[in-house]
Chain A
Amino acid sequence: MVGGPVVRVLVLRGLGFNCEEESAAAWQLAGAEPVVAHASDWLSGAVRLDGFAILHLPGGFSYGDDLGSGQVFANRIRLGRLEDGTRVLDTVSAFLGRGGRIIGICNGFQILVRAGLVPNIGGQFVQQVALAANLCGHFVDRWVRCRSAGMSLANLGEREFDLPVRHGEGRLVFGSPELRDLCQEKGLIGLQYLEADGGPATTEPANPNGAELATAGLWSEDGQVFGMMPHPEAYLTFVNHPDWGGRQRRGEDNDEATQTGQAFFRAWVEAATRHAAEVGR
């Protein structure tokens, strides 16, 4: 790990988020300092992004996903105001302006998409892609093979992972062919579902939802915001893997720092640390 100041991460809880505990554990294992705060305190301004390097919107069902997954929380980001009258979106924009990073996983990704924070090509914070209902038509909890690709997860490089997906609306749809090409050209497709042969997965079950271009995770154009459907925070130890017993019996590689979801958080922390060092220099 690169030395430097501790990376502080704001993890939201409440209002229907469900994954704050394992998310905090993930950041801790990666050497960061997570602070778990109630989302209502962030939306009111009682908790601010000052001093944080990363904002993490975790998985769950914010506001019950009543109007579509992530819609209401995205509304709060786009239209809401802190108690002092500042627009929430302005605080987010300022946070990104000073090099802050945002990670959204599952429901967090759905929020980022609806709030226009990914891919945010052109920087206008308008919704450009969507996460539509899985083609199977229902929620699914299953492990899938993924590869980090394109611009890549910070310095994670091109690597393969098994990860759990747990969602009903994860089918990434690009708003237009032009936008799809742009995202590809700019290398924003940071994570793809894989077939057994290692190619991008086009059909179920390898592609669990029917996402275009097998997209499992997407960067913002500026590379500071990343959303993904799979749950690396649910794979912090080798015994989370469905075949952990077999892998252990056969003596296969179970290195947690590189094989599990920990790798994602380590990469993000490392990138934030590097950024802090560069700014410091």
Chain B
Amino acid sequence: MATRAAAHFVAVLVRPDQRDVTGERVRVQARHLGIETGAVRVARVYAIDLPGTAEQLARAAPLVLADAVLETVAVDVLPVHSGAFVTTARLPGVTDDEGRTAQLALALAWDEPRLRDGQQCVFAQRLYLLQRQLADGDLRKLASALGNPLVDHLAWGAGLPTAIAAPAFVDHPPTPQQTVDLHGDDDAVLALSKAGCWHLDAAELRAIRDHFDEVAADRLARAMPALPTECEVEVFAQTWSEHCKHKEFNATISLVHNDQPRTVRSLFKTFIRGATERIRDKYAAIGQDWMVTVFSDNAGLVELDADHYFALKVETHNSPSALDPVGGAMTGVLGNNRDAFGTGKGGARLLFNTDVLCFGSPDYAKPLLRGQLHPMRVARGVVDGVEQAGNKSGVPTVNGALLFDDRFAGKPLVYCGTGAILPKQYPNGESWHKDIRPGDRIVVIGGRVGRDGIHGATFSSGALDDKVSGSVVQIGSPFVQKMASDLLAEACALGLVSGCTDNGAGGLSSSVGELAQGPGGALLHLERVPLKYAGLQPWEILLSESQERMTLAVRPGDVAALVALAQRRGVEATDIGAFDDSGRLVVRFGETTLADLDLAFLHDGVPTRYLQAEWTDHPALPNPELTLDAGPMLLRLLASPNICCREAVVRLYDHEVKGKTVIKPLMGPTGLAPQDAAVVRASFDGWHGLAVASGICPKFGDLDPYAMAAGAFDEAVRSLISVGARLPVAGEAPSWSGCDNFCVPNSAFDAVANPDGKLKLGKLVRMCEALYDCAVYFDVPMTSGKDSMKNDFVSEGHKISVPPTVLFTLVARVADVRRTVTSEWKAVGDVVYQVGATYDELGGCDWLRLCGGPDLALHGAVPQVRLGDARRVYEKMMAAHAAGLLASSHDLSDGGLLVALAECAIGGGRGAWIDVCQLSDSQPIAAVLFAESHSRLLVSVAPHHVAAFEMLFGRDAVRLGQVSADPSLRLDNGAESLCALTVAELTAAWRTPLW
């Protein structure tokens, strides 16, 4: 990197008589790598590029940069000894909040406002001082564990560093504007697309070429070249990216299903929007439409109460998290949060976050390919990113899931979800309505623009390979975003904002392009955009995905008030242009017009894709013969990565900030009871709230993608039913909101590059069909969704593709959070029942996977969702909740009945005497204990409610036993004892460390 020695530096170290907890952790981390470092001390080092004397710094630094009790400060010298050192510093241009904050601190100490407002001249880094002398190879290994070369400059050596470097920024003058000629043959234009990182296909490039040929005369009249400018092609590449336009979900698909050909015109319109519209029409007909904005805005918006809407959005951030797990996950969470902020006029307040994460196995032992990080490195980093983003934003992370499968070892799946509350009315009108008019100013608030995150939208639209540039990766800043979102909420409440959206994929190019559709045009002046540093090309300013920025539409008369408010709040707000009704998106830099595009063509001109798909249903393989071994098997299941306790992750997340969380991820007397859904109060003014749950089970997809997707949907529904939500019922003001997130491998058939593409796409079609069938049966609409279509990692001639996966995140309004029910057993004598039926459906189950790996789990029938039975059982559960009959309720999923029994016991710290003979009358005992049949729940009922409960459920509930005073789980099958384990034994197995 371009660096030079800084004028000065300040090093802040923990005093020798205090414990250096970070250093201790680094020492342990090194030991895991097989490196014995001896004692480690960690210094915060600030490279300072300012004129001024060391004496001035020596006076100021201890005052403002260090803890007076714990730390000691050195200026321009390192008054320590060490055997070796490692330093990590942000690469030039990568967000360095700590350096900026240190600069502000010095500005305060010196009462020097110019330091406060000017460019960054203080840069943070970490210096790890290692007691022992270490070989270069060990230091290199340790350095790359402590930092990531994509975002950090890493250095190491013997003794102490000889100089502390500061990044140097190279100023590139703007290069003259180039045009792009797309008249070549397919190979030639595809080569251009590849070189430009546009990810546009031949048909799209032809469509652009033809459009420009058509409007050539008009362009010349506008003083534009006939050929598209580079910048214009970039705008198309962003706007038409798979990420933004979902070309494959809107493609026309020729499907051959069981030898029967048929055509699907747009998966999205047919199955997803189709289901939602059908539900909406059904309830609108009886005057109960609760859907306010579906699929048309950044998040789905539904009715919450008389004064508020509820917004839901879930996004994935898979490719960035594969490259830079911490930064990728962080920007995933923060970016998804911005979608909620940017819904309607803007200013929603976040209520909760969710995180569903899929990684390769913790013990992944295959050699790592070039560019591939070990799944554990990815997992720890992603969790760290989610923690930082959620905690620092003050948003409770209340629900999630953690799945392990080696097919996620190339690209992890990182699903970030957000629920938010929007007041219905602002002084300037209905909040849901982006009321942007010609003449409204375009104002950006938040962070400045740098070269970070260029081509993120197009990059995520392709497979991940080992040739990536660091510029596609961004580091988030929760603090900058918090400042901006607080300002946005305040400005919206004052009626100063007529519409807004976030700057994510595609940067200003996308955000302004999208908002311009309302008024019908926009003119953008890029030279006004505040930059982190000089030297950006205009097109980079347009495309940069630098984080923490919102684009606002503001009436001309309100701009001054908004800018003044922003100034008081310490947030930058800049007027960068205006909306108009010209029908065009015009981008200027000074006197140069970089783009002058027809808005209608930009948004509607993308050609329809044509894709081929095939799927053949096949009969189930017979169950394997296995010995049952219930006790030992239960302990092994409880300890397995897909089932064991998630406390090591959950307790890193703040799940109680805002004081509204009623059902948290872990509950019960010892905080170990895993819950099915989270429940959050909507406000302090009432007891209504929201229940949120996730459904995801890719393991069933190998057997039958339809059954898998239906199972995921059912899992989310039954989790919500379990805690006490009610399915939409006429006359009850229902308010359900769902979000679908598909993550699949590249499913576009190519005889050479993707020979099984038709089969992959066939699976996706079946998954979408299941979504439709479940949604319309339960009356649960999707209000937003997102698809991620290229989840393949390619390196050294190998490809690691994710299994087709869909996550359903469902949210339901609950009338009174105090009447919800948790999973753990609560009192001795309560009677335990299984609700819903078990079938001989061992296919895909965790028991088979544990006994013989994924191949064995291909045996047995896949669990099916029997919609009629499911709905009947759920309606009885709703009645039981309404009558207050349930002491506990836990859904049956991974591991089946036996694991659910153990979780209820561990969670409540109570045992039970269980006899499954009534279940084993009709099904094999292995299925009774381990099958993962859907639509089942395990409930406990206080003795005085037993009669009413049994009357209500009839044959839909089977009595299994009673919660016992003896703290052990005793399991019989009639006269035969299957196992007897103490709660302590179960707990110990379940608390096996995840990593």
Q: Do A and B come from one complex?
A: yes
Identify the A interface with B (CB < 8 A).
Answer: 13-19, 21-22, 25-26, 28, 38, 40-41, 44, 46, 59-61, 63-68, 71-72, 75-76, 78-80, 114, 126-130, 132-135, 137-143, 164, 166, 173, 175, 231, 233-236, 239-240, 242-246, 249-250
| A139 vs B390: C-alpha distance when bound (angstroms) | 12
Please indicate the chain A residues that have their CB under 8 angstroms from the CB of B108 in the complex: 75-76, 79-80
Complex partner residue of A135 from B21, B568, B664, CB under 8 angstroms: B21
Whether the pair A141, B392 counts as a contact (CB closer than 8 A) is no
Complex partner residue of B669 from A17, A139, A246, CB under 8 angstroms: A246
Whether the pair A66, B102 counts as a contact (CB closer than 8 A) is yes
Complex partner residue of B70 from A18, A132, A249, CB under 8 angstroms: A132
Whether the pair B669, A243 counts as a contact (CB closer than 8 A) is yes
Complex partner residue of B656 from A25, A46, A67, A166, CB under 8 angstroms: A166
Other A-B pairs, 16, CB within 8 Å; known A38-B568, A64-B478, A246-B827: A14-B486, A18-B482, A22-B660, A22-B684, A61-B391, A64-B101, A79-B108, A130-B67, A132-B67, A135-B19, A135-B21, A137-B22, A231-B656, A235-B659, A236-B684, A242-B666
Stretch at the interface among B297-305, B612-620, B647-655, B740-748: B647-655
With A71-B67, A243-B668, A245-B888 in contact, do A142 and B651 touch (Cβ < 8 Å)? yes
Per the 8 Å Cβ criterion, residues 83-107 of B in contact with A are: 97-98, 100-102, 104-105
| A22 vs B657: C-alpha distance when bound (angstroms) | 8
Distance between B853 CB and nearest chain A CB, rounded to angstroms: 33
B662 within 8 A of A: yes
Please indicate the chain B residues that have their CB under 8 angstroms from the CB of A28 in the complex: 684
| A40 vs B391: C-alpha distance when bound (angstroms) | 21
Whether the pair A127, B668 counts as a contact (CB closer than 8 A) is no
A sample of 28 inter-chain contacts (CB < 8 A) reads A13-B486, A14-B569, A16-B482, A19-B394, A19-B657, A19-B658, A64-B392, A64-B477, A65-B392, A68-B71, A71-B65, A72-B104, A75-B109, A78-B63, A79-B108, A134-B21, A139-B391, A141-B653, A141-B655, A141-B656, A173-B18, A175-B69, A234-B656, A234-B657, A244-B662, A245-B667, A249-B887, A250-B826
Q: Is chain A's interface secondary structure helix, strand, loop, or mixed overall?
A: mixed
Stretch at the interface among B207-215, B527-535, B587-595, B814-822: B814-822
Please indicate the chain B residues that have their CB under 8 angstroms from the CB of A19 in the complex: 394, 657-659
B364 within 8 A of A: no
Whether the pair A249, B827 counts as a contact (CB closer than 8 A) is yes
Whether the pair B392, A240 counts as a contact (CB closer than 8 A) is no
Whether the pair A233, B69 counts as a contact (CB closer than 8 A) is no
The interface centre, meaning the residue of B44, B71, B657 with most chain A CB atoms within 10 A of its CB, is: B657
Whether the pair A133, B669 counts as a contact (CB closer than 8 A) is no
Distance between A34 CB and nearest chain B CB, rounded to angstroms: 12
Beta-carbon nearest neighbor of A143 in chain B: B671
Whether the pair B19, A242 counts as a contact (CB closer than 8 A) is no
Complex partner residue of B479 from A64, A76, A128, CB under 8 angstroms: A64
| A142 vs B652: C-alpha distance when bound (angstroms) | 9
| A72 vs B42: C-alpha distance when bound (angstroms) | 20
Whether the pair A40, B65 counts as a contact (CB closer than 8 A) is no
Whether the pair A139, B654 counts as a contact (CB closer than 8 A) is yes
Whether the pair B824, A21 counts as a contact (CB closer than 8 A) is no
B25 within 8 A of A: yes
Please indicate the chain A residues that have their CB under 8 angstroms from the CB of B479 in the complex: 16, 61, 63-64, 66
| A78 vs B479: C-alpha distance when bound (angstroms) | 22
Whether the pair A245, B658 counts as a contact (CB closer than 8 A) is no
B387 within 8 A of A: yes
Whether the pair A25, B684 counts as a contact (CB closer than 8 A) is yes
Q: Which 4 pairs between the two chains have the least Cβ-Cβ distance?
A: A18-B394, A22-B659, A64-B479, A66-B101
With A67-B65, A231-B656 in contact, do A132 and B18 touch (Cβ < 8 Å)? yes
Complex partner residue of A68 from B66, B482, B826, B827, CB under 8 angstroms: B66
Whether the pair B568, A40 counts as a contact (CB closer than 8 A) is yes
Complex partner residue of A240 from B44, B67, B661, CB under 8 angstroms: B661
Beta-carbon nearest neighbor of B100 in chain A: A66
Whether the pair A236, B21 counts as a contact (CB closer than 8 A) is no
Identify the B interface with A (CB < 8 A).
Answer: 18-19, 21-22, 24-25, 44, 63-71, 97-98, 100-102, 104-105, 108-109, 387, 391-394, 477-479, 482-483, 486, 490, 568-570, 650-662, 664, 666-669, 671, 684, 817-818, 821-822, 824, 826-827, 830, 887-888, 908, 942
Whether the pair A129, B69 counts as a contact (CB closer than 8 A) is yes
Beta-carbon nearest neighbor of B823 in chain A: A245
Whether the pair B664, A72 counts as a contact (CB closer than 8 A) is no
| A16 vs B888: C-alpha distance when bound (angstroms) | 38
Whether the pair A21, B69 counts as a contact (CB closer than 8 A) is no
Please indicate the chain B residues that have their CB under 8 angstroms from the CB of A231 in the complex: 656, 659
Distance between A250 CB and nearest chain B CB, rounded to angstroms: 5
Whether the pair B101, A139 counts as a contact (CB closer than 8 A) is no
Please indicate the chain A residues that have their CB under 8 angstroms from the CB of B888 in the complex: 245
Please indicate the chain B residues that have their CB under 8 angstroms from the CB of A59 in the complex: 657
Whether the pair A15, B21 counts as a contact (CB closer than 8 A) is no
Please indicate the chain B residues that have their CB under 8 angstroms from the CB of A17 in the complex: 394
Complex partner residue of A66 from B19, B21, B97, B667, CB under 8 angstroms: B97
Please indicate the chain A residues that have their CB under 8 angstroms from the CB of B44 in the complex: 67
Complex partner residue of B570 from A15, A65, A71, A132, CB under 8 angstroms: A15
Complex partner residue of A128 from B69, B486, B664, B830, CB under 8 angstroms: B69
The interface centre, meaning the residue of B67, B568, B827 with most chain A CB atoms within 10 A of its CB, is: B67
| A110 vs B960: C-alpha distance when bound (angstroms) | 52
Whether the pair A166, B661 counts as a contact (CB closer than 8 A) is no
Please indicate the chain B residues that have their CB under 8 angstroms from the CB of A72 in the complex: 64, 101, 104-105
Distance between A105 CB and nearest chain B CB, rounded to angstroms: 12
Whether the pair B70, A173 counts as a contact (CB closer than 8 A) is yes
Please indicate the chain A residues that have their CB under 8 angstroms from the CB of B482 in the complex: 16, 18
Whether the pair A25, B659 counts as a contact (CB closer than 8 A) is yes
Please indicate the chain B residues that have their CB under 8 angstroms from the CB of A142 in the complex: 651, 671
Please indicate the chain B residues that have their CB under 8 angstroms from the CB of A25 in the complex: 659, 684
Distance between B967 CB and nearest chain A CB, rounded to angstroms: 15
Whether the pair A138, B105 counts as a contact (CB closer than 8 A) is no
The interface centre, meaning the residue of A44, A126, A235, A245 with most chain B CB atoms within 10 A of its CB, is: A245
Please indicate the chain A residues that have their CB under 8 angstroms from the CB of B669 in the complex: 242-243, 246
| A59 vs B396: C-alpha distance when bound (angstroms) | 13
The interface centre, meaning the residue of A41, A61, A129 with most chain B CB atoms within 10 A of its CB, is: A61
Please indicate the chain A residues that have their CB under 8 angstroms from the CB of B822 in the complex: 245
Please indicate the chain A residues that have their CB under 8 angstroms from the CB of B818 in the complex: 239
| A235 vs B70: C-alpha distance when bound (angstroms) | 32
Please indicate the chain A residues that have their CB under 8 angstroms from the CB of B24 in the complex: 137
Please indicate the chain A residues that have their CB under 8 angstroms from the CB of B100 in the complex: 66
Beta-carbon nearest neighbor of B60 in chain A: A79
Beta-carbon nearest neighbor of B570 in chain A: A40
Please indicate the chain A residues that have their CB under 8 angstroms from the CB of B569 in the complex: 14, 38, 40
Complex partner residue of B109 from A79, A166, A236, A242, CB under 8 angstroms: A79
With A40-B568, A245-B888 in contact, do A79 and B64 touch (Cβ < 8 Å)? yes
Please indicate the chain A residues that have their CB under 8 angstroms from the CB of B71 in the complex: 68
Distance between A146 CB and nearest chain B CB, rounded to angstroms: 15
Distance between A115 CB and nearest chain B CB, rounded to angstroms: 11
| A25 vs B482: C-alpha distance when bound (angstroms) | 21
| A130 vs B17: C-alpha distance when bound (angstroms) | 14
| A175 vs B69: C-alpha distance when bound (angstroms) | 6
| A44 vs B101: C-alpha distance when bound (angstroms) | 19
Complex partner residue of B659 from A80, A128, A233, A246, CB under 8 angstroms: A233
Please indicate the chain A residues that have their CB under 8 angstroms from the CB of B394 in the complex: 17-19, 60-61
Please indicate the chain A residues that have their CB under 8 angstroms from the CB of B490 in the complex: 38
Whether the pair A75, B662 counts as a contact (CB closer than 8 A) is no
| A126 vs B98: C-alpha distance when bound (angstroms) | 24
Distance between B489 CB and nearest chain A CB, rounded to angstroms: 10
Beta-carbon nearest neighbor of B669 in chain A: A243
Beta-carbon nearest neighbor of B480 in chain A: A64
Whether the pair B97, A239 counts as a contact (CB closer than 8 A) is no
Whether the pair A240, B656 counts as a contact (CB closer than 8 A) is yes
Beta-carbon nearest neighbor of A28 in chain B: B684
Whether the pair B101, A249 counts as a contact (CB closer than 8 A) is no
| A132 vs B667: C-alpha distance when bound (angstroms) | 28
Please indicate the chain B residues that have their CB under 8 angstroms from the CB of A61 in the complex: 391-392, 394, 478-479
